[in-house]
Amino acid sequence: MRKIGTAIFFLMLLMGFTSSTGKLNTHIDQFKWMNGSWKMSTKKGMIIETWATLNDSAMQGISFFINKNADTTELESISLLYSNSKYYYIPAAIGQNDNLPVKFTITSFDEKSFVAENPEHDFPKRIIYQLITVDSIHAIVDGGPSMPDKKSDFYYSRINK
């Protein structure tokens, strides 16, 4: 449990370096509902995903797994960026793609969801986040239209506000 606190502490420290103006640009403001820490229990432990706004055009996320023995393993770091009039979701998954980031273009979004796609990537080709309630998110990774049977669901609950 102490490792969860340590990971959240470091992310909160990162959040301390965010824009201090109190007013976000409308670009990244579209995704502020993701800010905070989210957890999902599994049979083997818990997945934690934490998001923070960095500035008016970027958010940073980190995902890690905590097993039953409280050992922590980083799963991926994620950037959500606004650049050249487009939004991008850019994960760098540990142990995949030579640990290099993969750029997904956010093709649609509203105040409670977004769809990010990269049809050239092997898997996933599409990543979807949906705010179900103020305290729950449903994330989906799938193979897009070319692989409709390949899909994983992630149901997160908010840890803090």
* Model confidence pLDDT, tens digit, residues 25-66: 458 999 999 999 999 999 999 999 999 999 999 999 999 999
Checking if the pLDDT of 8 tops 60, the result is: no
Domain coordinates in residue numbering, the chain: 2-158
The whole-number average pLDDT for the span 74-103 is 96
Q: Who has greater pLDDT, 126 or 2?
A: 126
Pairwise CA distance, residues 99 & 76, whole Å? 9
Using omega within 30 degrees of 0 as the cis cutoff, is the peptide bond preceding 124 cis? yes
Give the list of residues 6+ apart from residue 42 with CB closer than 8 angstroms, or none.
Answer: none
Per-residue pLDDT tens over the stretch 115-155: 999 999 999 999 999 999 999 999 999 999 889 899 999 99
Superfamily grouping for domain 2-158? Calycin beta-barrel core domain (2.40.128.20)
Mean pLDDT for 64-69 is 97
